[in-house]
Amino acid sequence: MSEQLEQMDKEYVLHTYARNYVNFKKGINATLFDENDKDYIDFTSGIAVCSVGHGNKRVADKIYEQISNITHISNLYCIEPQAKLAKRLKELSGYDIRTFFSNSGAEANEGAIKIARKYGETKFENKRYKVITLEHSFHGRTITTVKATGQSSMHTPNFAPYPDGFSYHNKIDDIYNSIDNETVAVMIELVQGEGGVQPFDKKEIQELAKFLKENDILLIIDEVQTGVFRTGEFLASNLYEIEPDIVTLAKGLGGGVPIGAIMTTHKDIFSPGDHGSTFGGNYLVTAAALEVLDILEEVKDSGVLDETIIYFNAKLNEIYEKNREIFTDNVGLGLMRGLRVKDADTLALVIKTAFEYGVLVLKAGKNTLRLLPALTISKEEINEGFKRLENALDKIKQG
Ligand SMILES: *Cc1c(COP(=O)(O)O)cnc(C)c1O
């Protein structure tokens, strides 16, 4: 891409990411085109965001129709697509819930923690406020959600002091021992995404959920990455057959527009003034999300999503088996997949070489190659993407 654009980016944008310099101009489903019309198969979908692919015409038309009329009013007035979306989330989840709309995953988790804190304040004799999380989790980048994130490398003194009341533990079993009479909630992902695409055992989660319910401790499931059909069901919580108190969503819900959701069975926990958001749940994002859900429900109900999951994972397993000198494990659920790479340097080389060969893949944790394709990815795109990845791996093996 042009030297000029790269310089502009470096000069004027804060340096919070190790950027790849490519200038994408157009996308069709899981295929991206740069300014020279070179095409890339996208196995990242913008980190599980573009759930219905790039350039989706139905979503684009819906957004255009909506913003030609109203883009935004404020939450002081009823917003028709917001009410419809909240109803839809209740139906799709199968839970008896109400929803608040935020603008991101971190903000959704922040709101979930506020719900837990209010529950802990109003429901018990003593104030319960502690939230337990897990090592290798990821819950966001605000000061509070960074503190909730179970990665010590993120708790840098640069941003201290952090809020009190958070602790993280190595494994599910350790949660039981760390609960005391000030514990109000446990917050976990069912498949740790950023931490390395690590799914938890279903039985273990069900036992934890049962124990927490019996002890009146809230279970918050962070489905910012696993939600909206990523694991094959609408929620990973549905797949695990649990009934959490709070579920948060974001990434895949809007197909690219910024939207998050906090869904809770504690339907009357908040009163007017307790929480709010200027942009949250506005006409633009909720109209887009409704269309995204229409598309994804069709893909799910027609059986196509389940077929895509089987097909993608068969191809992935082929590449895994053929390259056991590079990959040490094959992990994940649905279209949230990871291949553990023998070491971090090799992983960096795989991602870089794959990019050169025209396929986009991600990193998770220290040594996991992560794949999060659009849920609408076609067989042709899957075939082409894995062919390119294979070529990249061959190149690496030749040294
Ligand atoms: C990405 C992610 C977040 C943070 O979402 P943002 O929209 O970046 O704030 C939180 N939790 C999980 C599990 C995530 O994957």
- In this prediction the pTM is 0.98
pLDDT for the residue numbered 1: 83
Q: Tell me the mean pLDDT in the region 214-221.
A: 98
Which residue's CA lies nearest to atom 6 of ligand 1?
Answer: 105
Residues 363 and 370 sit within 8 Å (Cβ to Cβ)? yes
pLDDT tens-digit map of 39-90: 999 999 999 999 999 999 999 999 999 999 999 999 999 999 999 999 999 9
Q: How far is the CA of 253 from the centre of ligand 1 (A)?
A: 12
Residues 274 and 123 sit within 8 Å (Cβ to Cβ)? no
Confidence of residue 38 (pLDDT cuts 50, 70, 90): very high
Confirm or reject: Cβ of 134 under 6 Å from ligand 1. no
Confirm or reject: Cβ of 30 under 6 Å from ligand 1. no
Confirm or reject: Cβ of 390 under 6 Å from ligand 1. no
Q: Tell me the mean pLDDT in the region 101-121.
A: 98
pLDDT tens-digit map of 240-254: 999 999 999 999 999
Residue-averaged pLDDT of the chain = 97
Q: Tell me the mean pLDDT in the region 305-314.
A: 98
pLDDT for the residue numbered 87: 98
pLDDT for the residue numbered 212: 98
Confirm or reject: Cβ of 193 under 6 Å from ligand 1. yes
pLDDT for the residue numbered 73: 97
pLDDT for the residue numbered 220: 99
Q: Tell me the mean pLDDT in the region 89-95.
A: 98
**Minimum-distance ligand 1 atom for the alpha carbon of 104:** 7
pLDDT for the residue numbered 81: 98
The domains found in the chain, sorted by start residue, are 59-301 (3.40.640.10)
Confirm or reject: Cβ of 225 under 6 Å from ligand 1. yes
Confirm or reject: Cβ of 254 under 6 Å from ligand 1. no
pLDDT for the residue numbered 130: 98
